[in-house]
């Protein structure tokens, strides 16, 4: 008995699969950039001799513990963003970065990163936030459309026209008198 392969195309899931693959690829690229940046930062601390100062060494040690905590959550199948354990880890991340800023350790100023890079980073954050807000707005309108409440019903109602639920019944000639 030969097994046949079903090559039916699923148009609804293909777009979702492509979107999911694109989001995962962007996430992996962002994670790789974050790893490369922190590797560069560690190398800079080692080269400048700051890595063995007590404050810097403690921050790197806590960072390794936080990474181990995220790895633990990931292996257990727990969420990395929501939940008590994840929130504790994210608070530790904020604490690590907050103490570095509070101590005034600016590696960027020491190494000589141009000001255009920091301006570009600020603009990209603003553009990313604006893009996220637009994405949320489009997604909300899309959900309303799928639920049967088109977003154009509100302006039509405000303009004094009948709502989308009212259907006019026009005919090519007037109805008969009798």
**pLDDT tens, the chain, 178 aa long:** 555 555 555 555 677 788 888 888 998 998 898 889 888 888 888 888 888 888 888 888 888 999 999 999 989 988 888 888 888 888 888 888 877 766 666 555 555 556 666 777 778 888 888 888 888 888 777 776 666 655 555 555 455 555 555 555 555 667 677 6
**Amino acid 53: pLDDT:** 84
Tokens, residue 20: 């999911």
Nearest to 17, CA basis, from 6, 28, 9: 9
What pTM does this model have?
0.48
Nearest to 79, CA basis, from 92, 94, 89, 91: 89
As a whole number of angstroms, the distance between CA 58 and CA 54 comes to 6
As a whole number of angstroms, the distance between CA 67 and CA 89 comes to 9
As a whole number of angstroms, the distance between CA 178 and CA 174 comes to 12
* Contact status, residue 144 vs residue 150, Cβ threshold 8 Å: yes
Helix (H) or strand (E) holding 112: none
Indicate the domain borders of the chain.
14-111, 114-164
Q: 159 to each of 141, 154, 175, how far by Cα in Å?
A: 20, 9, 30
Q: What is the 3-state secondary structure (H, E, C) of 24-54?
A: HHHHHHHHHHHHHHHHHHHHHHHHHCCCCCH
SS3 content of the chain, % helix, strand, coil (to 5): 70, 0, 30
């Amino acid at each position: 008995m030969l097994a046949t392969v079903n090559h039916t195309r699923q148009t609804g899931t293909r777009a979702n699969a492509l979107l999911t693959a694109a989001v995962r690829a962007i996430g992996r690229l962002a994670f790789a950039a974050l790893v490369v940046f922190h590797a560069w930062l560690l190398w800079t601390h080692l080269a400048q001799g700051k890595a063995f100062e007590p404050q810097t060494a403690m921050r790197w040690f806590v960072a390794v513990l936080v990474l181990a905590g995220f790895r633990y959550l990931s292996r257990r199948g727990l969420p990395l963003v929501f939940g008590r354990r994840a929130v504790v880890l994210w608070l530790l991340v904020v604490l690590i970065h907050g103490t570095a800023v509070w101590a005034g350790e600016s590696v960027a100023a020491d190494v000589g990163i141009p000001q255009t890079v920091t301006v570009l980073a600020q603009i990209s954050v603003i553009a990313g936030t604006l893009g996220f807000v637009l994405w949320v707005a489009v997604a909300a309108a899309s959900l309303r459309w799928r639920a049967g409440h088109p977003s154009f019903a509100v302006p039509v109602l405000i303009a004094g026209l009948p709502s989308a639920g009212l259907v006019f019944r026009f005919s090519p000639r007037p109805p008969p008198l009798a």
